[in-house]
Amino acid sequence: MLSLYLFFFLSFVALISASMVLLSKKPIHAVLYLTLTFFTLAGHYILLNAQFLAVVHVIVYAGAIMVLFLFTVMLLNLNIEGEFQKSTLMKFVAAIAGGMLFLVLIGTLKSFDVSTVGNPEMTQIGLVKNLGKTLYSDYLMPFELSSILFLSAMVGAVMLGKKDKN
Amino acid sequence: METTVAQIQTIPLQYYILFCSALFSIGVIGVLAKRNALVIFMSVELMLNSANLLLTAFSAYRNDPAGQIFVFFIMVVAAAEVAIGLALLVVVYRSTKTIDINALDRLKW
């Protein structure tokens, strides 16, 4: 029962802070609300007993990606209030479109019976030991290839960020 | 650990689907409604995260580690994407002095 309350609390905070990302005028506030959303999602991972993913999520998102966003806001000096806004009509249309998408998703999934999926004797799979075994046996090749992806991303970012000589 | 397992069963999988759909829709609204390229990036991150959470939920309920491995790789790709995207944003800002995406219409016919 406790986990159900925890689920509702985390979902509530996540949805509110995700909306605040869109509603806040200053980019720096949006970044901070996004960090809050990421932390609540880490709570969701822990609730699902996916401890490895929770830790990786906090390290990657709340650690690395947030620092990148904050430094970009700082370097570009973007913290100016309400600089460029879309017209109210466009915002309204966007909200309608997003709401329609939500309704379509809910409507589709309502007819889909997920209760058969549930497995009563779950689950140790989210622990570091079991995920590590799978990652280093079945998924060894993609895991190694992702290091090449990171290398190329790093080279690309450095190349893009470099100042022109002339 | 048994108690945790018993507790998770009390949350229906439908709740996760509902929550993730709502989060994804918020991300879509952000991409459609905003003109600040940085906020659009953040909305894309929201969408990626909602997909990640749903993959994890299904993986946990089906007792299949492949879903969580997928989430791990999505995180890898998202990190690389953010690094490149923000570098591109800095380059765009240097050349146009703004990150308003409406300024980037030079390829428009």
Does the residue B56 lie in any domain?
yes
- Residues on chain B touching A118 (C-beta within 8 angstroms): 9, 13, 61
- Tens of pLDDT along B77-107? 999 999 999 998 888 888 887 778 877 777 7
> And the tokens for A131?
């995920």
Does the residue B75 lie in any domain?
yes
CA distance A52 to A143: 15
- The CATH number linked to B85 is 1.10.287.3510
CA distance B32 to A31: 18
Percentage of residues in chain A having pLDDT higher than 70 = 86
Measure B93 CA to nearest chain A CA, in Å: 7
Measure B105 CA to nearest chain A CA, in Å: 16
* Over residues A75-102, mean pLDDT: 79
Q: Suggest the residue from B25, B45, B77 to mutate for an interface test with chain A (most A CBs closer than 10 A).
A: B25
CA distance A40 to A136: 29
Domain that holds residue B49: 2-100
CB-CB under 8 Å, B83 with A154: yes
* Residue A108 host element (H or E): helix A88-110
> And the tokens for B93?
């800002």
**Strands annotated E in B1-109:** none
CB of B37 closer than 8 Å to CB of B101: yes
Write the DSSP symbol of residue B69. H
* Over residues A26-51, mean pLDDT: 91
User: What per-residue confidence (pLDDT) applies to B8?
Assistant: 47
Does the residue B88 lie in any domain?
yes
Name the pTM for this structure: 0.87
CB of A30 closer than 8 Å to CB of B45: no
Does the residue B107 lie in any domain?
no
Using alpha carbons, select from A106, A126, A102, A103 the residue that is nearest to residue A114.
A106
Does the residue B108 lie in any domain?
no
User: Given a cut of 90, is residue B58 above it in pLDDT?
Assistant: no
- Tens of pLDDT along A103-142? 998 888 877 766 655 554 456 777 888 888 888 998 999 9
Which single residue is written with the structure tokens 């060894």?
Answer: A140
Does the residue B44 lie in any domain?
yes
Does the residue B48 lie in any domain?
yes
Does the residue B81 lie in any domain?
yes
Domain count, chain B: 1
- Tens of pLDDT along A5-25? 899 999 999 999 999 999 888
Q: What angle do CA A50, A53, A54 make, to 5 degrees?
A: 80
CA distance A84 to B5: 49
Using alpha carbons, select from A72, A73, A14, A83 the residue that is nearest to residue A43.
A14
CA distance A144 to A142: 5
Facing residue for B65 by CB, picked from A86, A109, A125: A125
User: Given a cut of 90, is residue A85 above it in pLDDT?
Assistant: no
Mean residue pLDDT of chain A comes to 85
- Residues on chain B touching A38 (C-beta within 8 angstroms): 49
CA atoms within 13 A on the CB side of A40: 23
User: What per-residue confidence (pLDDT) applies to B84?
Assistant: 92
* Over residues A17-37, mean pLDDT: 91
